[in-house]
Amino acid sequence: MSLQVPKGTYDLLPPTSAVHLKVREALAGPARLAGYGYVETPVFEDTAVFARGVGESTDIVAKEMYTFDDKGGRSITLRPEGTAPVVRAVLQGGLQNGQLPVKLWYAGSFYRYERAQKGRYRSFAQVGAEALGSDDPALDAELVWLAARGFADLGLQTTRLLLNSLGDSECRPAYRSALSESLGGLDLDEDTRRRAAMNPLRVLDDKRPQVQEQLAGVPLISEHLCAGCREHHDAVRGYLSDLGVAFTDEPRLVRGLDYYTRTTFEFVHDGLGAQSAIGGGGRYDGLSQALDGPPLPSIGWALGVDRTVLALAAEGIELTQRERCEVYVVPLGAAARRRTVSLLAALRLAGIATDCAYGGRGLKGAMKGADRSGARLTLVLGDRDLAGDVAQCKDMASGEQTPVALADVVEQTRERLAQ
């Protein structure tokens, strides 16, 4: 086969595709129970949404965006993340004029031109939640708890939560200068110096041991928070403790997007190697204004579906993979095939997952299909059965076969499945 998926991407096919669906459902479930409504934005936006929203100094905007001019000459970008589009959508829809906070959740594919490796893809899936229009620290705690719940509901045991505050427009500038000055005294390579000049906080995120060693003595944001940010952060920590959410203070956690203020957090899983972040988020109190909106203090997160699936595998957790088919119908002969079309519809209308041997297969081949389908019951319809208005109902576990009147086959099947 000469045509393949592009580098850094992969297809989701059964049976593993069912695991991804389950992970999406589980990660979104807690937010849906907490008043978050579904939002869907286009997979592409005006490039300015990300350039202004995520920040020109970030790797995402500087190096990783899929950007192109459309046929009308507009600069378009495939979404690398969901927060800036959601804020754009809320402002465009005027939702900030109604009840606050506006609570929204989403799930979908995102695109970053990253160096592809296990756990890092160019097309990947996130489940996200955003709450716009409140600076209440209880909302920060709510969101962190919802994310932690999603992972716990899947059975993950060894996720860790890293927590930090990045300060705000009052205290961050002074911290930034102090950090800049301190970085200026270190022996850093040319590239890192350039990053430091653009955004010194980003250097803290450098994973290379030779850089980390040098960073040992640089000032930390936790020592520079203003009274408002300190109070907010202490309140969030207190609420998390009340909720029983364990966290580690990580004063060097900066995250890869420029919009963050105050609370920032990341969920990591140690079974994943280098790409250990399975989710992350934080406050973005200034993002609305960066997109020409009113002040709208907000917080949210996005959890990585692909990496959560890898984390489940690392912990040996198997979610049921099969899209279960409960009943398999085997029609033998033209008349039975005709009768089967409406029988399938009736069973499915009754909410019974049903499949059938298509293509006029003989009994032996069709029964192989029944075995593979994982169905608990098989209904065989031959000419003689049809003449007697019955189907043969075979219990696949015991092998026992009994005739069932076609007139009440749906009811009979339902009863047997309930046993």
**What tokens appear for 388 in the block?**
């007697």
Q: Which 182-201 residues touch ligand HAM, going by CB under 6 A? A: none
Least CB distance to ligand HAM at residue 172 (A):
17
DSSP letter string over 203-267?
HTT---HHHHHHGGGS--GGGT--HHHHHHHHHHHHHHHHTT---EE-TT---S-TT-EEEEEEE
CB 211 within 8 A of CB 186: no
53, 128, 133, 369: which one binds ligand HAM (CB under 6 A) = 128
With contacts defined by CB under 6 A, name the span among 80-88, 100-108, 201-209, 313-321 that binds ligand HAM: 80-88
81, 168, 206, 326: which one binds ligand HAM (CB under 6 A) = 81
The residues, any chain, with a CB within 8 Å of residue 24's CB and separated by 6 or more, are 107, 125, 127, 305
Nearer to ligand HAM, 46 or 415 (CB): 46
277, 336, 380, 381: which one binds ligand HAM (CB under 6 A) = 277
Least CB distance to ligand HAM at residue 99 (A):
20
With contacts defined by CB under 6 A, name the span among 22-30, 212-220, 279-287, 350-358 that binds ligand HAM: 279-287
Least CB distance to ligand HAM at residue 219 (A):
24
CA distances from 184 to 27, 191, 204, 243, 292 (A): 42, 13, 13, 42, 35
58, 77, 126, 288: which one binds ligand HAM (CB under 6 A) = 126
Q: DSSP E strands: which ranges in 357-417?
A: 377-381, 390-395, 401-405
Nearer to ligand HAM, 23 or 343 (CB): 23
Taking the C-alpha atoms of residue 256 and residue 254, their distance in angstroms, rounded to an integer, is 7
Least CB distance to ligand HAM at residue 213 (A):
25
CB 266 within 8 A of CB 279: yes
The residues, any chain, with a CB within 8 Å of residue 97's CB and separated by 6 or more, are none
Least Cα distance to 215 among 230, 205, 228, 225 occurs for 205
Nearer to ligand HAM, 166 or 229 (CB): 166
Q: Which 226-245 residues touch ligand HAM, going by CB under 6 A? A: none
279, 297, 331, 369: which one binds ligand HAM (CB under 6 A) = 279
CA distances from 341 to 222, 345, 349, 376 (A): 67, 7, 13, 20
Nearer to ligand HAM, 132 or 203 (CB): 132
Query: Does the footprint of ligand HAM cover residue 120 (CB under 6 A)?
Result: yes
Q: Which residues bind ligand HAM (CB under 6 A)?
A: 81-83, 112, 114, 120-121, 124, 126, 128, 130, 256-257, 277-282, 284, 300-302, 304, 306-307
